[in-house]
Amino acid sequence: MRLLYPISFPQLLFIGFLLVSIPPVLTLVDGYFALNRLSTKAELAITHATAATRDSRLIDEHVTGLERLARQQLVLNDTQSLEAYSRRHTQFLETSRRLQQEVHFSEIDAKLARLLSIENGVWQHLQQPNLAQFQADSLDQPFGQMNTIAASIVDQADARIEADTQALKTESAAARHRMLQRLWMLVPVSLLVSIGITVLIRFPFLQIEQAMRQLGEGRFKEVIRISGPKDMVILGRRLDWLRSRLAELDEQKTRLLHHVSHELKTPLTALQEGTSLLSDEVSGPLTGEQREVVQILRTNCQRLRKLIENLLDYSGLRNRPAPLNRTKLKLDELVQQIIADQKLAATARGVSVTANTSGLALYADRDKLAVVLDNLISNALKFSPAGGRVEILAQAEDKRVMIQVCDNGPGIAAAVATEMFEPFVQGPPPEGNPVRGSGLGLSIVRELVTAHGGTVELLPNTPSGTCACIRLPSQETMTS
Do residues 136 and 276 both lie within one domain?
no
- Residues 272-289: tens digit of each pLDDT: 777 777 777 777 777 777
Do residues 247 and 377 both lie within one domain?
no
Q: What is the mean pLDDT of residues 449-456?
A: 86
Q: What is the mean pLDDT of residues 144-156?
A: 84
| Number of domain units in the chain | 3
- Examine residue 2 and state whether it is found in any structural domain, yes or no: no
Do residues 179 and 238 both lie within one domain?
no
Predicted confidence at residue 1, as pLDDT, reads 42
Q: Give percent of the chain with pLDDT exceeding 70.
A: 86
- Examine residue 70 and state whether it is found in any structural domain, yes or no: yes
Q: What is the CATH number of the domain that holds 355?
A: 3.30.565.10
Q: Give yes or no for residue 327 having a pLDDT over 60.
A: yes
End-of-domain residue from the set 312, 339, 354: 312
End-of-domain residue from the set 173, 197, 221: 197
- Examine residue 320 and state whether it is found in any structural domain, yes or no: no
- Examine residue 71 and state whether it is found in any structural domain, yes or no: yes
pTM for the model: 0.47
CB 402 within 8 A of CB 392: no
Predicted confidence at residue 438, as pLDDT, reads 59
- Residues 13-36: tens digit of each pLDDT: 777 778 778 878 887 888 788 888
Do residues 330 and 443 both lie within one domain?
yes
Please state which of the ranges 79-88, 289-298, 324-333 shows the lowest mean pLDDT. 289-298
Q: Give yes or no for residue 321 having a pLDDT over 60.
A: no
Do residues 347 and 425 both lie within one domain?
yes
- B/e letters for 338-367, b = 16+ CB within 10 Å, e = fewer, are bbeebeeebeebebebebebeebbbbbbee
- Examine residue 319 and state whether it is found in any structural domain, yes or no: no
Do residues 344 and 251 both lie within one domain?
no
- Examine residue 220 and state whether it is found in any structural domain, yes or no: no
Do residues 156 and 41 both lie within one domain?
yes
- Examine residue 192 and state whether it is found in any structural domain, yes or no: yes
Q: Give yes or no for residue 88 having a pLDDT over 80.
A: yes
Predicted confidence at residue 462, as pLDDT, reads 74
- Examine residue 353 and state whether it is found in any structural domain, yes or no: yes
- Residues 338-352: tens digit of each pLDDT: 888 788 778 877 888
Predicted confidence at residue 428, as pLDDT, reads 63
| Confidence grade of residue 226 (pLDDT, cut at 50, 70, 90) | confident
Q: What is the CATH number of the domain that holds 46?
A: 1.20.120
Mean pLDDT of the chain: 78
Question: Which has more confidence, 326 or 286?
Answer: 326
User: Which residue range forms the structural domain that includes residue 445?
Assistant: 325-479
End-of-domain residue from the set 290, 312, 334: 312
Do residues 66 and 167 both lie within one domain?
yes
Q: Give yes or no for residue 89 having a pLDDT over 70.
A: yes
3-state secondary structure the chain: CCCCCCCCHHHHHHHHHHHHHHHHHHHHHHHHHHHHHHHHHHHHHHHHHHHHHHHHHHHHHHHHHHHHHHHHHHHHCCHHHHHHHHHHHHHHHHHHHHHHHHCCCHHHHHHHHHHHHHHHHHHHHHCCCCHHHCCHHHHHHHHHHHHHHHHHHHHHHHHHHHHHHHHHHHHHHHHHHHHHHHHHHHHHHHHHHHHHHHHHHHHHHHHHHHHHHHHHCCCCCCCCCCCCCHHHHHHHHHHHHHHHHHHHHHHHHHHHHHHHHHHHHHHHHHHHHHHHHHHCCCCCCCCHHHHHHHHHHHHHHHHHHHHHHHHHHHHHHHHCCCCCCEEEEEHHHHHHHHHHHCHHHHHHHCCEEEEECCCCEEEEEHHHHHHHHHHHHHHHHHHCCCCCEEEEEEEEECCEEEEEEECCCCCCCHHHHHHHHCCCCCCCCCCCCCCCCCCCHHHHHHHHHHHCCCEEEEEECCCCCEEEEEEEECHHHHHC
- Residues 185-209: tens digit of each pLDDT: 878 887 888 887 788 778 888 888 8
Task: Tell me the β-bridge partners of 363.
Answer: 328
Do residues 18 and 66 both lie within one domain?
yes
Do residues 43 and 120 both lie within one domain?
yes
- Residues 397-443: tens digit of each pLDDT: 877 888 889 888 888 877 777 777 777 666 666 655 544 555 677 88
Do residues 308 and 333 both lie within one domain?
no
Do residues 73 and 117 both lie within one domain?
yes
